Amino acid sequence: METLSSPSATVEPESDKPERPRDPMRILFCLIPKFSMLSLCTALEPLRIANRISGKELFDWSLCTETSDVRSSLGFSVPIREGLPPVKSRDIIIVCAGPSVERFRSQLLLEWLRKATMHGATVGGLFTGTHMLALAGLLEGKKVSILQEEHDRFQEKFSDVRVSVSPYSIDGKFLTASGGISAMDLMLALIAHHAGADLARNVCKHLMYKSPQPFQTFPKIHGREPADALHPKVQEVISLMANALDQPLNVKELADRADISPRQLQRFFKSDLSQSPLQYYLDLRLMHARDLLYQTSMSVREVSSACGFASQSTFSKRFRHRFGVSPMVLRKASALSADNKG
């Protein structure tokens, strides 16, 4: 087993020379003991498939940890040959954690994360990995996504962080996903940014997964513009939608808050997304419902209400049409695997 790296001089500042498009995007997945295996796997698999489909090494990832051997929430041991490595300013660090994440905080890890962001690296968190970023003091004023059941506890402890109900959030150079399948959604958005939405959609097909369209846009990463930039008003309205999933706004309310006319709103969405605002809004609510069923112990009725459906029967009908399975079936399947979450 190799000696773990020291946090001193862990970040290597780079020149402002633009990176060539053919250079792979390097992603470091930092694993915290009892990390969510589901989150890690659903993050890695889209990257692997993207490389295979494209025939290029678009993404180069590695696993690191503060300890030489780390176990997942399922109890599997993952041997890792690298401690906390030197981080380049164009790298992306994703902290993947699980239950009781705060037990595993350390000054070594927190300082590594702080130095990485100070020198321009992008950082993110999967499942409860977002807690580690907050503990490092990196998320003040930032919008983040975390598990629904963690919202109140997180907000009480980190009152300066904005908690979103979206499955994943992109706020500047901070990427967060609530866990489980939402980690896949975040990686698909990253693929769309780095290599185009067509490749991301092809990855979805290989995974037999229907992801909401379009993928959220990123700020500049690797000196490149997002592959599929949306009209600023569309981005603004999507943000309004994501923060009002439990009490949906109508088209006029969305348009008024974005300071445009309902007709303009309809036109922008049709042009950028090939669907109406209400169609997109419904899909966003259903995706959130799916995450709640996967990741919480909420009943179908509670999920229906939390996602803005006045009628449980209407919710069930819409959900089945969107995902090909009823919410009750998904709820039962999620309950069967709950004991394996650690």
CATH number at residue 49: 3.40.50.880
Q: Which residues pair with 12 in a beta bridge?
A: 88
The pLDDT value recorded for residue 257 is: 93
| Residue position matching structure tokens 């088209």 | 251
Asked, for residue 218, whether it belongs to a domain, the answer is no
Which residues, 6 or more positions from 76, have their beta carbon under 8 angstroms from its beta carbon? Answer: 37
Asked, for residue 3, whether it belongs to a domain, the answer is no
**288 and 202 share a domain?**
no
Read off the pLDDT band of 111 (50, 70, 90). confident
| Residue position matching structure tokens 């992008």 | 122
**147 and 69 share a domain?**
yes
**CATH number of the domain within which 239 lies:** 1.10.10.60
Structural domain boundaries, residue 304: 232-341
Asked, for residue 258, whether it belongs to a domain, the answer is yes
Q: Is the pTM higher than 0.75?
A: no
Asked, for residue 2, whether it belongs to a domain, the answer is no
Express each pLDDT in 112-165 by its tens digit: 888 888 777 889 999 888 888 888 888 888 888 887 777 778 888 888 888 877
Helix (H) or strand (E) holding 168: strand 168-171
Picking from 172, 191, 207, the residue at the C-terminal end of a domain is 207
Radius of gyration of the chain (CA): 20
Express each pLDDT in 23-63 by its tens digit: 788 898 988 888 888 888 889 899 999 989 888 888 888 88
**119 and 18 share a domain?**
yes
Read off the pLDDT band of 18 (50, 70, 90). very low
**30 and 66 share a domain?**
yes
The pLDDT value recorded for residue 9 is: 32
**94 and 179 share a domain?**
yes
Q: Into how many domains does the chain fold?
A: 2
Q: Which residues pair with 168 in a beta bridge?
A: 177
Alpha helices in the chain (DSSP H): 37-54, 107-118, 129-135, 151-157, 182-195, 197-207, 232-242, 251-257, 262-273, 277-295, 300-306, 312-323, 327-336
Picking from 172, 207, 242, the residue at the C-terminal end of a domain is 207
Express each pLDDT in 52-87 by its tens digit: 988 888 888 888 888 767 777 677 777 776 678 878
What percent of the chain has pLDDT above 90? Answer: 16
**23 and 144 share a domain?**
yes
The pLDDT value recorded for residue 22 is: 52
Express each pLDDT in 312-321 by its tens digit: 999 999 988 8
The pLDDT value recorded for residue 295 is: 65
Distance, CA of 51 to CA of 194 (rounded, Å)? 12
**275 and 236 share a domain?**
yes
